[in-house]
Amino acid sequence: MLIVRRVLRRKQPNTDSDGEWISHAMKAAKITAEAAKMIPVAGPFIEGGANIFCVILEPLQQMKDNKEDFRELTQSLLTFLKTLQQQAISSVPQSQHFEEFQRICSDFKR
């Protein structure tokens, strides 16, 4: 649970406007690559550089998206675990229910 708490309590340095710089840079690189096609001599070099820049930014964009998805998943899991803990504390199981619960949990581990 300590790891989950650390992930959720981390200060979020990136706001939505800060996180959008990758997509803006990718759009600018694509526009530059298209515009470079009109330049006779240096155009292919500029186009290649812009395309490479765009290819480099794609994994960064994916990492950003994955991090946001992971944060949402962690939030959902934490909510689920808190609910499960509250239910377990509020209703003390009788012996036969407790044994059934243990059997279900052991089946789940397999």
Q: What pLDDT digit, counting tens, does each position of 27-55 carry?
A: 999 999 999 888 888 888 989 999 999 99
Q: What pLDDT digit, counting tens, does each position of 53-67 carry?
A: 999 999 988 888 899
Question: Of 53, 62, 60, which is closest to residue 32 (Cα–Cα)?
Answer: 53
Q: What pLDDT digit, counting tens, does each position of 74-103 carry?
A: 999 988 888 887 777 776 555 556 777 777
93 and 101 Cβ atoms separated by less than 8 Å = yes
CA–CA dist 61, 33 (Å, integer): 19
Task: Provide the token pair at 85.
Answer: 């803990």
Enumerate the domain spans of the chain.
17-78
> pTM of the full predicted structure?
0.50
Give residue 78's identity as a one-letter amino acid code: L
Please give the distance of CA 29 from its chain centroid, rounded to a whole number.
24
37 and 57 Cβ atoms separated by less than 8 Å = no
